[in-house]
Amino acid sequence: MAEIGLFDAMYSARSLRRLKPDPVSDAIITKILDAAIRAPSAGNAQHWAFIVVRDAEQRRKLGAIYRKASDIASAIYRARGRPAHMTEAQYRRFLASGAYLWDHMGEAPVLLVPCLRERPPPPREALPPSVEAIYEQELAYERRIRGASIYPAVQNIILACRAFGLGTLITTNHIRCEDEVKAVLGLPEDVSTYALMPIGYPVGKFGPLARRPVQEVTYADRWGTVWGAEPGATASAEARTRTQAG
Ligand SMILES: Cc1cc2nc3c(=O)[nH]c(=O)nc-3n(C[C@H](O)[C@H](O)[C@H](O)COP(=O)(O)O)c2cc1C
């Protein structure tokens, strides 16, 4: 199989929710995970674990939990409404694609569950007084960055799947029913799941990925000052001040 370029992969690895039931070889799954573990983690702790679920009954159970959790997600989506950058048609397609997965998660030949073991800071008394005094702040910091030690690995999985012509996406709805997921997978108390990724050969096609443009989401030096360079431009364009900041 010809290797896809990195940028081609990044630009076309869209969320593919309709997957064929054809099996995916263990060798390919191992290569995907070998790419996943090249990702960074805080303090290089590598406190991750990946559960590869192929057993039909296990997939059925996880699928049922995803279905249940998605009822909550769908109520949230209804209340939140369409993001301004999406057209009505795009939003309808997005909702329909998401809803398809509610009923079909368990049918993907592989369900991959990236997990992290808890990594609490050292006990308060082991710290110097200056840090002990701000221990709660340190706990909040740890909570804030926790996911950043697994989601880079998730993105590597998405790109590695793309390289092998496999469809996948990151889903998180199941976390709303985390205890049930942990019971099905037999996870230790201090291990949590961060994503549920169906993997399989796709029914639909890859990319291209539509996104809000760089200029709309990037500022130069401070909030509100437009980043002006076109993608691919070699010299940075002069920054202009946005008239309507935001
Ligand atoms: C943190 C996070 C959680 C997500 N959870 C779900 C989910 O539970 N179910 C789902 O179908 N898609 C989920 N997605 C996928 C998004 O809907 C998808 O990335 C977005 O619509 C862009 O799709 P595209 O890459 O195909 O353009 C999630 C994405 C992220 C980043």
Where would I find the beta strands (DSSP E) of the chain? 48-53, 110-117, 191-193, 197-199
C-beta 67 within 6 A of ligand 1: no
The Cα–Cα gap between 232 and 219 comes to 17
Kindly tell me the sign of the dihedral angle through the C-alpha atoms of 159, 164, 165, 167: negative
Contact predicate 29/197, CB 8 Å: no
Mutational pocket test of ligand 1: of 80, 97, 170, the residue with most ligand atoms within 8 Å of the beta carbon: 170
Give pLDDT, residue 242: 38
Ligand 1 geometric centre to CA of 20 (Å): 20
Residue with tokens 């191992």: 30
Query: What is the Cα 216 distance to its own chain's centre?
Result: 23
* Type of residue found at 138: E
Q: Which secondary structure element, helix H or strand E, spans residue 136, and what is its range?
A: helix 135-145
C-beta 173 within 6 A of ligand 1: yes
Residue numbers in the chain where pLDDT is lower than 50: 233-246
Where would I find the beta strands (DSSP E) of 28-82? 48-53
The Cα–Cα gap between 220 and 227 comes to 5
User: Which ligand 1 atom is the nearest neighbour of the CA of 173?
Assistant: 8
The DSSP bridge pattern shows strands 191-193 and 48-53 to be unpaired
- pTM for the structure as a whole: 0.92
Give pLDDT, residue 203: 97
Give pLDDT, residue 206: 98
Give pLDDT, residue 120: 86
Ligand 1 geometric centre to CA of 120 (Å): 28
C-beta 98 within 6 A of ligand 1: yes
Ligand 1 geometric centre to CA of 43 (Å): 28
C-beta 94 within 6 A of ligand 1: yes
Give pLDDT, residue 245: 33
The Cα–Cα gap between 147 and 114 comes to 11
Ligand 1 geometric centre to CA of 170 (Å): 6
pLDDT digits (tens, 9 = 90+) for 156-185: 999 999 999 999 999 999 999 999 999 999
The alpha-carbon radius of gyration of the chain (Å, integer) is 21
Ligand 1 geometric centre to CA of 171 (Å): 6
C-beta 172 within 6 A of ligand 1: yes
**Using CB atoms within 10 A of its CB, is residue 231 exposed (0-12), middle (13-18) or buried (19+)?**
exposed
